[in-house]
């Protein structure tokens, strides 16, 4: 499992990128996850201001 991103909801704020301890997220037009790095930690889910992330 990796984090799921609701691309319609994401506002590309970048908070999840800063929160991720394994550097699995990047923001292009919206947040993107590197599935080879994501470890289901959930720090990104906790910081997203618009609830665009879920595990
Ligand atoms: S914290 Fe939420 S709104 Fe901000 S870039 Fe990440 S997924 Fe998008």
Nearest atom within ligand 1 for CA of residue 48: 1
**In this structure, are residues 44 and 37 in contact, taking their beta carbons and an 8 Å threshold?**
no
CATH class of the domain comprising 4-54: alpha beta
pTM: 0.94
pLDDT at 22: 98
Q: How far is the CA of 24 from the centre of ligand 1 (A)?
A: 13
In this structure, the residues whose C-beta lies within 6 A of any atom of ligand 1 are: 5, 10-16, 27, 31, 47-48, 50, 52-53
Ligand 1: residue whose CA is nearest its atom 4: 13
Q: What is the CA radius of gyration of the chain?
A: 9
Per-residue pLDDT of the chain (55 residues; tens, 9 = 90+): 899 999 999 999 999 999 999 999 999 999 999 999 999 999 999 999 999 999 9
DSSP H or E stretch at residue 48: none
């Amino acid at each position: 499992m990796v984090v799921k991103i609701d691309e319609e909801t994401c506002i590309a704020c970048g908070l999840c990128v800063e929160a991720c301890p394994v550097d699995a997220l990047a923001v292009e037009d919206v947040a993107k996850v590197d599935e080879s790095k994501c470890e289901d930690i959930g720090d990104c889910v906790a910081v997203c201001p618009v609830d665009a992330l879920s595990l």
